[in-house]
Amino acid sequence: MQKKYDIAAFIWPAYTGKEPRTKIFWPGDIGEWQTVRDSVIDYPEANYHWDRKPLWGYRDEADPETMEFQIEEATKHGVNVFIYDWYWYEKRPFLEQCLDDGFLKAKNKDKMKFYLMWANHDVNYTWDKRNSDMLWTSNPTVWDGFVDRTQFNIIVDRVISKYFSQPNYYKIDGKPVFMFYSLGSLIHGLGGSFDATLEALEYFNQKTIEAGFPGVHLQMVSYGSGVDNASGVDGGQKVSNREVAEGLGFSSVSNYQYCHFMGMNHDYTLLTSVAEQEWNKMNESFNIPYYPHVSVGWDPNPRFNAYNGNVTFNNTPENVEIAFRKARDFVDANIDKLKVPLITVNSWNEWTETSYLQPDNVFGYGYLEACKKVFVDEPAEENK
């Protein structure tokens, strides 16, 4: 019998022009595709060139026909869960169209599971290439990522009724999975104390139970095995990942991007080695499951007007395949603790951070074929 894995790729839902508020970052009508389309970058002194183009074109990912095609391609190659970056700014949702109008209206949506990661970080001008260099100077905040308890309760009701109720929402032990990007932002908005945050999360769990589920599976984005981004709460004390997760009742942990816990200006083979060490540290230090994470790469230069310099190199499909295989082996070795064979991947479509599985003009279908080889083809061979 063939082994099956839950390969969950993050989705950056900005490749559409249907959200009016994106105009302040991308004045065109195609969202951040505008930045990808217009980015041909050369820095000869750094031996740097960027000219990535999507083989599938600049398609509106809030269009159900686009997502029907992408669901077919993803599932064919072993990606069977999408984790949608989900946003709430200025007391209302932001960038829901890709999920609501694209994915959830796709005729074949039942072939793919999905869940949400609340990307509750502040917004500056990183998304606006015209002004993004302010990140290195004044770094003004456009929108705050934190919310107060009133807004938190509104979010809970919206998420449960609109998304948990979907039959293809991803669950662990029957509980809908909901990921938090920034615990520091969450805690800050809820008054700056663990007690207030714990009470809010318990409310979230109770409301989920009232909706007919056994509870909510809270998943934490970890920024490494050392000090978490929740430091500074409760009088400025440093708080470890384990203390945060256990104290707030989280059910599991994963990562969002390698750049959160290591320098990225290295050969990808070194990054894979560091990541594997991190998986083992997290697995040993947590009583709750740590689900391994693989990032395809890192290069945010398309978003800036000056050379950023922090660029991953040699992240070929062949080397990413090695990372996939190591993550698969980690899951196999720890499945009794993990319960489900979940691996998170950055990402399906983070083009302007150069960390994506979608096919391009450089590697073609290479990343997707690497995923298919490890998670579809090889497990079948091993179980003959």
Alpha-carbon gap, residue 272 to 225, rounded angstroms: 16
Consecutive H or E run containing 118: strand 113-118
Alpha-carbon gap, residue 355 to 373, rounded angstroms: 19
> What pLDDT digit, counting tens, does each position of 267-315 carry?
999 999 999 999 999 999 999 999 999 999 999 999 999 998 889 999 9
96: its two tokens: 């829901």
Q: How far is CA 184 from the centre of its chain?
A: 17
Q: Which residues of the chain have pLDDT under 70?
A: 1-2, 226-239, 380-384
The label of the residue with tokens 């310099």 reads: 309
> What pLDDT digit, counting tens, does each position of 180-233 carry?
999 989 999 999 988 999 999 999 999 999 999 999 999 999 987 764 445 444
Q: How far is CA 13 from the centre of its chain?
A: 11
Q: What is the pTM of this model?
A: 0.96
What are the chain's domains? 6-382 (3.20.20.80)
Question: With 0-12 CB in 10 A as exposed, 13-18 as middle and 19+ as buried, what is 200?
Answer: buried
